[in-house]
């Protein structure tokens, strides 16, 4: 008698698949995007800062150049004054000697004022980015110092023509110089400073 084969075993139950968590996946993706964006912002901010410092350095270099030229004019005039004093003496007992000395002072002053006016015009044309207020202040303060010297030279030239003319000698020059000492130091950029700090300390004495 032929036997009937037993029925095949039932198929195994399907494997259970854990339920998906789409919200968790999106949270991970969002975190990654946030980290990348933050990194890009840091890089961008750093690049902008470096670029801004580079521009500040260029502005200060222009200021340095003009200031050095102006100081050279004043030093040359001062040296010529010293030569006149050596030639004529620190005091003159005769009116003629006094007048002759001041005529020489006046001639030096006129020449110096012409040379200084050229530098003054150059510095007046310099500009800085709107938010570079320290650079603007340094330039304005030094221009005020140049103005004080221009007034001084004008007084010297006038006294060379009019020995009876009197004027306040040096007060405004000293006041404007003290202000320019501070602002010229404050305007030095943090990066790309080169020798600005050394130059400022040597030129302005602080």
Pairwise pLDDT comparison (48 vs 123), residue with the higher score? 123
Nearest to 78 by CA among 30, 116, 125: 116
Are 178 and 171 spatial neighbours (Cβ–Cβ below 8 Å)?
no
Quote the pLDDT of residue 160: 83
Is the pLDDT confidence value at 18 over 70?
no
- Go through 55-69 and write b for each residue having 16 or more CB atoms within 10 A of its CB, e for each that does not: ebbebbebbbebbee
Residue 122 falls inside a structural domain: yes
Q: Is 36 domain-assigned?
A: no
How far CA 117 is from CA of 68, 167, 198, in Å, comes to 14, 21, 27
187 within domain boundaries: yes
Q: Measured between alpha carbons, how far is 138 from 30 in angstroms, rounded to an integer?
A: 48
Weakest-pLDDT range from 13-22, 57-66, 100-109, 120-129: 13-22
Whether 1 has a pLDDT exceeding 70, the answer reads: no
Q: In the chain, what percentage of residues exceed pLDDT 90?
A: 55
The larger pLDDT score, comparing residue 137 to residue 35, is at: 137
DSSP alpha helix (H) spans, the chain: 22-88, 95-125, 133-161, 171-186, 196-204
Q: Indicate whether 181 belongs to any domain.
A: yes
Domain that residue 111 falls in:
73-204
Give the torsion through C-alpha atoms of 151, 153, 154, 156, to 10 deg: 130
Q: Contact, 144 vs 176, CB < 8 A?
A: yes
Quote the tokens at residue 123. 């510095």
Residue 119 lies in a domain: yes
pLDDT at residue 39 greater than cutoff 70: no
Q: Is residue 179 part of a domain?
A: yes
Q: How far apart are CA 128 and CA 132, in angstroms?
A: 6
| Number of separate domains in the chain | 1
* pLDDT tops 70 at residue 123: yes
pTM: 0.77
pLDDT in the model for residue 40: 61
Interatomic CA distance for residues 19 and 143, integer angstroms: 76
Question: What's the chain's average pLDDT?
Answer: 85
The answer as to whether 161 is a domain residue is yes
DSSP 8-class letter at 18 = P
Determine the Cα–Cα distance for residues 74 and 96; give it in Å rounded to an integer: 27
Domain assignment present for residue 174? The answer is: yes
Lowest mean pLDDT among 2-11, 110-119, 146-155, 172-181: 2-11
């Amino acid at each position: 008698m032929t036997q009937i084969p037993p029925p095949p075993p039932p198929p195994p139950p399907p494997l259970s698949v854990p339920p998906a968590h789409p919200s968790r996946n999106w949270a991970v993706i969002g975190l990654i995007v946030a980290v990348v964006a933050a990194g890009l912002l840091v890089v961008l901010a750093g690049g902008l800062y470096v670029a801004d410092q580079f521009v500040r350095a260029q502005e200060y270099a222009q200021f340095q150049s003009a200031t050095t030229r102006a100081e050279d004019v004043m030093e040359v005039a001062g040296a010529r004054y010293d030569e006149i004093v050596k030639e004529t003496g620190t005091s003159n007992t005769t009116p003629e000697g006094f007048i002759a000395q001041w005529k020489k002072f006046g001639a030096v002053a006129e020449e110096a004022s012409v040379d200084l006016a050229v530098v003054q015009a150059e510095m007046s044309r310099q500009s800085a980015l709107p938010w570079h207020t320290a650079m603007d202040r340094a330039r304005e303060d030094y221009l005020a110092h140049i103005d004080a010297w221009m007034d001084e030279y004008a007084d010297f030239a006038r006294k060379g023509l009019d020995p009876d003319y009197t004027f306040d000698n040096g007060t405004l020059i000293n006041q404007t110089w003290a202000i320019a000492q501070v602002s010229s130091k404050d305007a030095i950029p943090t990066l790309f400073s080169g020798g600005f700090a050394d130059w400022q300390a040597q030129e302005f004495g602080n």
